[in-house]
Amino acid sequence: MKTIEIIVSPTGEARIETRGYAGAACQEASRLLEAALGVRQSEQLTPAFFQQPLTVQNRLSAGGHTNPS
């Protein structure tokens, strides 16, 4: 399940975490919320960020075959 978790501290600072995403799609998903809230202070990429999305992996594994139609 894809979710975005936002934790707003008692001083009003927001920490946004994307969950369930693979690759850079998470940045696209959270961009609107980030822009709405204020100024980005820091960004930390996690191992999942560097994973290829599943749909791309599937296409790659079928690579080399050409569609005759």
Partner 1 sequence: MSHIVTIQTEVRCRESVTAACRRLQLPPPTEGTHRLFTNQATGLAVALPAWRYPVVCELPTGTLRYDHYGGHWGDPRQLDRFLQGYAVERATLVARRSGHAVHEEPIADGSIRLVVQMEGAA
Using rule CB under 8 A, residue 36 touches partner 1: yes
CA distances 55 to 31, 52, 62, Å, are 22, 8, 11
Closest to 26 in 3D by CA, of 12, 11, 46: 46
CB of 25 to partner 1, least distance (A): 8
- Smaller CB separation from partner 1, 47 or 68: 47
Q: In this structure, are residues 35 and 29 in contact, taking their beta carbons and an 8 Å threshold?
A: no
Using rule CB under 8 A, residue 6 touches partner 1: yes
Kindly list the residues in this chain that would bind partner 1 in the complex (CB under 8 A): 1-23, 26-27, 29-30, 32-34, 36-46, 48-49, 51
